[in-house]
Structure 1
Amino acid sequence: MTSLIAPETTAPPRAPDHREPPTRGRALELQGFRGLAVLSTVVFHVWQQYYTYDAAGSHPPVDSPYLGALLSLEVIDLFFVMSAYLLTLSYARAAIDGKEGSVRPGRVFLFRRAIRILPLYFLAVLVVWSTRNPTLPGDWRDLVEHLTFTHVFDRERIFYTLGPTWSLSLEVAFYLVLVALGPLAVRACRGLRTRRARVALCASGCAVLFAVPLAWIYGAHYVLGVPHTDWPVYFGPQARFGGFAAGMALAVLLTALGDDRGRLRARWTTALSAAALAGLLTLSHLSAPENFAQTFYHPIAAVLWFALLYATLHIRHRERQRVRWHGLLRARWATAVGLISYSLYIWHEPVMLWLGTSGLLPSAQAGFPVAVLVAVLVALAVGTASYWCVEYPASLLGRAKDSRGRAREFYPETTTTR
């Protein structure tokens, strides 16, 4: 899924210069990214619970502003950039290099995305909503909005039931945009004679998709004076699509470069990764209510995640093993957490809230590290069970159709030979 298209070249192919196939290494590193990001999300929401939602209003878990910047670092834009990168790759290859056989029909794409997210999501919504609404009709509007992914447009209910799942509303919106614009880009590129023109067209489209949310945010905040607490204005797809546009641009860039051009040496990938991470921490540190860093936090963060992912994905093959950052991303514990990242993301907030209401989390400021440890361990256990009992079995339904949308034919195994 993360393989790259080789550039047009007359040079003979070179033998592999490392033991691990490049696509396998990149897949592991992206899975490690997901593992680290979802753990950071769990810690962030525990931090929010202690700091932002404390009844006294003055319950900071840490005194250091730099550690606070690390704890409060939001990684949701990383999920958006990675998702858009992976899902746009086939369209980028088709548009730029004419590899149209790699593009699945829209109905197949949407079917597989639905199999990926809906069974677990619907189950979690129904379980959590029913426990919080023991008598009918309950808050039926909240249930309907969550089941239709429209809660992101409701200022009051956007964070009800499963708070973090407002981001899934944006994911679904991105899927619809991609299956609409992707084939259009492929058809538009057919009429262009040069590869450079095709790359320019695709890159320009990504730039426009990134610029639209910037204009929306600027108009909402600086022209209309809409406060940041008007959640649908700043959390809706019209404001947050920049993360997806950055991921689409990354797919276009790496497809344009191919498998050889523009690859970084170890020292350059280390420097670029460090600079991107430092930028993200600085952005988190500078972000304050109603200032520039908070207003444009997510578009800026998307650019920095773009740089970090580029440094991670486009390093020279033989130097990949020399970068410690890559070793961390490929560590078994990080990739194992990445495997269950979706289940962990879905369940961690209700687990955290249940632990709090049950008195299993400390309430004093000094107990914050213990609260993080307990919440992470219990959420990991629940996420693991959810993956193997719900998410993985549901994913097997994706094998019911082939890449062209035709139903697969299954034949019983036999040992008879002719």
Structure 2
Amino acid sequence: MPNLYRALVDIPHRLQRLTAGAYRPEIDGLRFFAIAIVLLGHLASRVEKFLARSSPPSRAEAGIFSFLTHPGAGVLLFFGISGFILAVQFLRQDRAPLSRPFLSRYFRRRILRIEPPYLLLLLVTYGLIRVTGFQPPETARFAGPPASLADSLLASLGYVHVLLYENTPRLFGPGWSLEVEVQFYLFAPLCFFAYFRTRDAARRAMVGAVALAASIAVALLAPADAGPVHLGRSLLVFFPYFWVGILMADFQDPIRAFAASRRHWSWLGWAGLVGLCIVGPLQDMPEWRGLMMAVRLASVVAIFAAVFSAEHTAFRRVCSLPWISLIGGACYSLYLTHLQVMQVMSAVMFRVFQPDSWLVALGAALLVQIPAVLVVGLGFYALVERTFMIPNWPSVAMAGVRRRFGLPARAPLAAATVVHGAAAADGRR
């Protein structure tokens, strides 16, 4: 038993990130909360879809599920984290954001880090569906456009599925948010060029506030469609959350200095998490879109403010716990694999287990499915994603091939630096 305990305690250290950056476990802790909201939201949605016909909910259950079935709240926190991380990465280097050296390194890192796990997930899912003929039950959107599964695969590979078809990607439903992330990655260097060229901090704060107000106006007024392109879930709608992350990166030092002696700031983090989720039911009410966005943007700011507070505060301590930061650090793998696991397990579980209470069903699903999601996601992280965290992994892979076949190495390889944890600058995801 002691050996098992030591092994469990040691897992976060064994699965630490491969990076050359400074470790900030509290940022991985924020990712933990984001992915936890996503997992709980998708699991509650599965319960709702599988039990809606056979067991109508009580009034109390309907009210509770109206708050739980909005995994997009976690995605918004992910967007803020992405803006923050990319801005921090940019501020640490002295190259112009539109220079060829910066753009070459920036896009190469994004492609080599994010694309391979996503490509593998899509191709494996496509192959399994083709071979088994599996049709996800109680998932009406899987039968939506495009009619061809191959066309859906190609659109997902190009990160344009929602732009072209409006429907969520058939092979990987949460992929709509990764498509928005990629749109931001393409636009971010121009943002950095336009914003950080203002050297005076006070003036830059004014520019940032004006840009935030303008982006909110665009998000609220943007048309749902522009010709054949669907904009309802595009960067136009979600850019304010990325921009808040950039502002938090720019002004984290004065915020940290102000918060250093204020222990009560820890409560801002918990209040921010509640604020993100509590306005979920307003999502389907167009007249409340402005209020919902204001509350959620304020919530993201509050969460960052709490994580900038002193290290001894409760919220930051929780964010820095080893298993919390490990799960947050593996969020991209969990994001890629969780819905596939939930969809298959829910199809089996709710075929034989259909209680009258939705809350009982959700509790059972949490006990059975979340451990499976964590095992699969952390396994994918350890065996697949961590490989692509090595900045020069193509050279490492080629060197392995050359050694395997007895060919001489072409050039020395730079070893990857291993530090404790490290929030990778590319996000997930």
What's the TM-score bracket when you normalise by the shorter of the two chains? 0.7 to 0.9
Q: Which gives a bigger RCO, structure 1 or 2 (Cα 8 Å, sep 6+)?
A: 2
- Counterpart of 1:170, as a letter, is V
Match of 2:354 among 358, 363, 370: 363
- 1:376 maps to which of 370, 380, 395: 370
Measure, in 2, the Cα distance between the counterparts of 1:369 and 1:408. Answer: 55
1:348 aligns with 2:355: no
Task: Sort the Cα spacing of 1:62 and 1:155 in 2 relative to 1 into closer, same or farther, 3 A.
Answer: farther
Amino acid across the alignment from 1:348: H
| Residues 158-197 of structure 1 deviation map (CA, whole Å, 9 limit, x = unaligned) | 24111111100011000111122323434x43xx6x4433
What residue is the counterpart of 1:389 in the other structure?
383
- Tell me if the contact between 1:84 and 1:248 (Cα under 8 Å) persists in the aligned partners: yes
Answer whether contact 1:343 1:383 (CA < 8 A) is retained.
Answer: yes
How far apart, in 1, do the equivalents of 2:217 and 2:112 lie? 32
Per the alignment, residue 270 of structure 1 pairs with 266
Residue 306 of structure 2: aligned partner: 311
Change (3 A) 1:33 1:274: closer
Is contact 1:152-1:235 (8 Å) kept?
Answer: yes
In the TM superposition, residue 144 of structure 1 has moved relative to its aligned partner by: 0.8
Is contact 2:180-2:234 (8 Å) kept?
A: yes
2:206 is matched with which residue?
Answer: 200
1:278-327 superposed Cα distances (whole Å, 9 cap, x missing partner)? 4334423x5263254457634531331122112212x24xxx21x22222
Aligned to 1:84: 83
CA positional deviation for 1:155: 4.2
Alpha-carbon distance in 1 for matches of 2:177, 2:56: 27
For residues 131 and 295 of structure 1, the distance between their equivalents in structure 2, rounded to whole angstroms, comes to 42
User: When the two structures are superposed, what TM-score results if normalisation uses the length of structure 1?
Assistant: 0.74
Equivalent in the alignment of 1:127: 124
User: Alignment identity in percent?
Assistant: 21
Aligned partners of 2:332 and 2:157: how far apart in 1? Answer: 17
How much does 1:201 deviate? 3.3
Question: How many angstroms apart in 2 are the aligned matches of 1:86 and 1:298?
Answer: 22
1:390 Cα offset (Å): 1.0
Aligned length: 357
Verify: 1:179 aligned to 2:170, yes or no: no
* Higher alpha-carbon deviation: 326-335 or 298-307: 298-307
1:266 and 1:389 mapped to 2: Cα distance?
Answer: 42
Cα distance, 1:101 vs structure 2: 5.0
Alignment check: 8 A CA contact 1:50 1:61 kept: no
Is the contact between residue 83 and residue 242 of structure 2 (CA under 8 Å) also seen in structure 1? yes
Q: Counterparts in 2 of 1:52-71, with a 5 A limit?
A: 52=49, 54=51, 56=53, 59-60=56-57, 63-64=60-61, 67-68=64-65, 71=68
* TM-score, normalisation: structure 2: 0.72
Residue segments in structure 2 that go unaligned for 5+ positions in a row: 1-20, 134-146, 396-409, 416-429
- Name the structure 1 match of 2:282: 287
Structure 1 residue aligned with 2:149? 139
Change (3 A) 1:203 1:410: same
Q: 1:347, 1:379 within 8 Å by CA — same for their partners in 2?
A: yes
- CA gap 1:220/1:395 in 2 versus in 1, 3 angstroms: closer
Return the letter of the residue paired with 1:81: G
Corresponding residue for residue 141 of structure 2: none
RMSD in angstroms over aligned alpha carbons? 3.5
Q: 1:157 to 1:59 in 2, by over 3 A?
A: same
